[in-house]
Structure formats: C-alpha cells, structure tokens
Structure 1
Amino acid sequence: MKHYLVVTGLVFAMSQAWAAESINESRAVAANEKIFIENMRGYVEIRAVDAKEFKVSGTLDEKADGYTLESKNGFTTFKVKMPTFNNFNGGDNDQGSKLTIDVPKGAELEFQGVNSDVTVKGIQGSTKITSVNGKVDASALRQFVQLQTVNGEIDSRDNQGKVSISTVNGAIKDTGSAGRLELDAVNGEISSSTTAKEVRVSVVNGEADLKLDGVEQLSMSAVNGGQEAQLKNSLSPRVDVSTVSGGIKLTLEKNISAKFNLVANAGGSIRNNLTSDKAERSKYGPRSSLEFSTGKGEGNVEMSTVSGSLKVDTF
C-alpha cells in the first residue's frame, strides 16, 4: 500500500508540472515597436490595436518551461520556453499554447513557430510570419508582408505592399492583394485574385490559377505543373512565362497591344486563339515557334516551354 501511494503521488506531481500555465501580461511600447514572437506549438492570434501596448493572454503549452517577455528601446521579444529534450508529441497543433496577442497597428512584427498555427490581422508596419508545420491566416497587412510555411496552408486576404508568400507541401490562397506580389509553391497549389501591378509566380509539382486585374508585369514559371492566368484590364502588359513538362494558358483582353514570341521545344505545343497566326515547326529538331503583334505592339509577351504546352486566348 505504501508503494502505491508513492507512485500515485509521483504521477500527481508530474501532472501538476505539465499543467498549462495562464498568462496575462502587458507592456507599454512604441507605436512602431519592433516585435518578435516565438511559439513552438499551438495556436496564436495576433491582433493590431490602436493602443501603444503589447499584451499577451491565454495559456502556455502545458510542457513549456514558462516564458520570457522583454521590452526595451523600441524592441519587444516574447518567447514560450520549451524543454530542450523535445521528447514529446510536437506534431499536434491542437495541443500547445493558446495565445491572443495585441500589438500596435504600426508595429513591425516577426513571428516564428514550429508546430504552430497563426492568425494575424491589421498590422500596418511590416510582417514576417514563419511556421514549419502550421497554417497561416493573414489579412489586412501593409508595407512588407512575408508569409512562409513548410508543411502548411496559407490564406492571405487583402494584404498590400510588397507581398511574398511561399509554401512547401501546402497550398496558397490569396485574395484582394495589391502592390507587388510573389507566390511560390512546391508540391502545392496556388490560387490568387489580385490587383497587384507586379506579379511573380513559381510552381513545382503543382498548379496555379490566377485572376489578375490591371497587372503590368507578370513572371510565371512551372516545372511539372500547370498555370492559368486571366489578365483583365491589362492592355499592354509585359509578360515572361516558362514551363518544363507543364502547361501555361494566358487569357487576355481582345484589344491587347503587344508583341508576342512563343517557343516550344522538345515536342511542346503552341495554340493561339488570339489571332489567326499559326506556329511554325522548325526544320531541325522538335521545335516550333510563333511571332506576331497586336495593336501598336506596346506590350511584350514572351512564352516558352520544354515538353509542355502554351496557349493564348481571349475573354
């Protein structure tokens, strides 16, 4: 009986040691505070507020060794401290910290997570979000916006400025972005509806579906994947697209004014539904090409493929 009591007491003590710790801390900070947040696993919601205050509330990861919060000279750092031995199940984002963090809307924010989902909204300074195995939900961000995951999805809404979004083994959904936009996916899919003037898209082993309104410069590349782009209100764009073992389709305005140069190598194909011009096959090797102009030829459209397909069409 004594041995039983000892074991029971030990189990109770361990469960107490792993109990989640509540947190409710705040600091007065500058309107343009540089803020760094680190959370290994769980869920973090970051909100922009009008107050010059950094505030964090919620519960820490039950296996955390507490936290650090330092604020000095315009820099604030908050970290959830985790044990170094890492012999716990870190892959479940439903476990871990559950935090709500308020920051000034003019702050510059950087967040790092491992198995951590994050929602961030309304920051007007700059935002950099990095998570290894987590989802990113980001909206109404301004200036410099960088969203990255390795194994996770990214949902980007109404972000403006220089916006860069990338994922490996995940998907990107972008709506309402403006300014300059970069989208990169490996083993994933991209969908975007944007008014960005400059757009660059790269896909490896995936697909991209783009609805572009008023784009002036477009760069697209695909390897073992396909891309479709609709260019509305773009009458003289500058476009450079390429694909290897994949297809690219451009849907353009009927009254577009541009010079076109399309090249297909190694058995690739070219289909032109914009004009009556037809591709010509090379006398030497499996190569075909097509050059033509529309309107005054003010824009420029360069398309190339290796073992893939190129298509231009109209709305």
Structure 2
Amino acid sequence: MQIANNLSVRNVWGSGLFGVMLLGVSQLALADPRTVVNERVSVSANEKIYLEVMSGEITIKAVDTNTFSVTGKLDEKATGYEFDSKDGFTRFEMTMPRQVNYRWNDKGNAAQLSFEVPVGSSVEFKGVNGNVSVSGIHGSSQIGTVNGEITATDLRNSVQLSSVNGEIKLSGASGRIELSSVNGEIEDTDSRGRISYEVVNGEIKASSSAEEVSVSTVNGDADLKLSGTTQLKLSTVNGEIDAALRDSAAPRISGSSVSGDIELKLDSSISARFELKASAGGSIDNKLSSDKASKAKYGPSRSLQFTLGSGDGSVELTTVSGDIKLEKL
C-alpha cells in the first residue's frame, strides 16, 4: 500500500513538472524576438532625413514640432540599427545580414516602425519588402520600395513615389509629382500642380486638377479624369489611354501610341487646332465635329486636320497600329 502511494506521489510530481516545462517552452515560443526601438531627438524645421528599412510595415507621419522620433520593433533577422543626427541631417537604417533568406509573404516577425518628422522636412525612404504609409510632409518626399504598397496623403512641393511590385495610392498632393510603378497600379486623387505617371504592366487611375500632366504606359492602361489641365502629354505602347478633360478652353495636348489606343474626351466649347495621324492600319474616329479622316493615296495611313473655335490650343496625336478617338464630354 505504501509503495502504491509513493508511486502516485511521484506521478503527480512528474506530471506537474512536465506541465511547468511545457508552459515555459510555450512562453518562450510566444516571446517576440524583435528588438525594440525608441529614439527621439530635436532637429531643424527643414531637416534632411534619410530612412532605410529593408522589410516591414512602415509609417512616416509629419508633426508640427521640430522633432524626429522612431518607435517600434526591428525585423527579427535584423542585426541592429544605425542612427545619427547632426548639422541638419538625420539618418536611420535597419541593418541586415549580407545574405538573408527573406520571402515576401514571410511577414510574421517583420519590422513595425513608426517615424515622426517635422512638416517642413525632406524625407527619403528606401525599402525592399514592405508597405509604407506616409502623410503630411510639406518639404519633399522621395519614397521607394521594391515589393510593397505605398499609401500617401497631403504631400507637397517635390513628391517622388516609386514601386516595382506594388500599388501606389496618393491623395491630396500638390507640387511637382512623379509616380512610377512596374507590375503595379497607380491611384491618384485630388492632385494639383505638375504630375507625371509611368507604369509598365500596370494601370493608372487618376482624378486630378494638375495644370500639367504627363502619362506613359507600356502594356498598361490609364483612366484619367482631369480638370483645368492646360498641358497634357500621352504615350502608350500596347496599352490604352482614356482621358477626359474638363474646364480647359485651350489646352495643349500631344500624344502617341504604338499598338495602343488613345481616347480623348473634351468640352464642346474647346478652341484648338487638331492634327491627327494614323499609320500601319491605325484608325481615326472624330466625334467632336463633322470632319472626317482622309486616306493616303499610297499605304494604309490616315490623317485629319481641323480647327474648333479660334484655334487657341492644339491637339496633336499619332498612332501606329492603334486607334485615336475624339469625343465630346
């Protein structure tokens, strides 16, 4: 009887110890291996700020104080970070091993960092695998990533956003704006100033009141809703551009397509001279007036010239193996 009791006590003690060991192991497994970052420093109102974070979810927000701060956690694969600030220049870089096996969908222990910068600062950010959210910077913004999405609001003066495999979403920007994406989509709303869009294997969706607009697509489409634009440049290869231009009495528009289509919608009160050319089987469809394209005596080319109003503006479009279409809004 005594032996049985001893065995029972040993079993209970052993089970309890095993349970404690399992709890300890599970807590270690759940522990976050990432390094915590918490840095803050006073900087100039127009500080030049350079940020480099290879992977993670990144937020960059402008604030009304002359302070730079970074909080959050590094990627678990990071070896640390470099941070220095002096003489109007601030730099933060998350350091990574020279060779790191990183997959785009491996986000479990990627970096999560939030930056605060002065409103009037100039910010340059570089990333590889991650999403970036940036807002309120009125100095200049140069944001680039390879695999990830860029979401930006209220950026001013000089704005450059680029992604290789990811979307760019911009709203409320003004100034000199450049947006480019490869294998991604660009969405722009309420931009002003001068803006250029460039995509390869992607799409552009824009609603803008920029005075000058430039669009270039390769194997991609563009849908533009423009207001008050005075200068418009269009270029597509194996793509389609659909542009509607309101409230521009005498715009200057030029465009070309190769194996692609350009469709232009204009106010019926427009004053401009039109010169359209199509070759290698291209076509011209004019619904702004009763003027019709004429066919060349030799070869499969067509051309059309006509004037609306006083001819103050100009519309010059050419296509090779594509279509040109003019319509009224």
Pair 1:156-2:194 in alignment: no
Pair 1:232-2:274 in alignment: no
Q: Secondary structure at the match of 2:54?
A: strand
% identity of equivalent residues: 49
Of the two, which has the highest radius of gyration? 2
Partner of 1:216: 230
Q: How does 1:179-198 map to 2 (within 5 A)?
A: 179-198=193-212
User: Counterpart amino acid of 2:199?
Assistant: A
Partner of 1:8: none
Partners of 2:111 and 2:183 in 1: CA distance: 24
User: Counterpart amino acid of 2:147?
Assistant: N
Partner of 1:165: 179
Partner of 1:258: 272
Partner of 1:293: 307
Cα RMSD over matched residues? 1.8
TM-score, length of structure 2 as denominator length: 0.90
Cα offset, 1:87, TM superposition: 2.6
Pair 1:87-2:95 in alignment: no
Cα offset, 1:88, TM superposition: 3.6
Partner of 2:18: none
Seen in structure 2, the aligned counterparts of structure 1 residues 255 and 168 have a Cα distance that, compared at 3 Å, is same
Pair 1:269-2:293 in alignment: no
Seen in structure 2, the aligned counterparts of structure 1 residues 88 and 222 have a Cα distance that, compared at 3 Å, is closer
Structure 1: gaps spanning 5 or more residues: 1-10
Partner of 1:103: 117
Partners of 1:131 and 1:246 in 2: CA distance: 29
Cα offset, 1:112, TM superposition: 0.1
Please give the per-residue CA displacement for 1:121-151, whole angstroms capped at 9, x wherever unaligned.
0000000001011100011000000000000
TM-score, length of structure 1 as denominator length: 0.94
Q: How many residues align?
A: 305
Partner of 2:20: none
Partner of 1:6: none
Seen in structure 2, the aligned counterparts of structure 1 residues 94 and 307 have a Cα distance that, compared at 3 Å, is farther
Pair 1:59-2:73 in alignment: yes
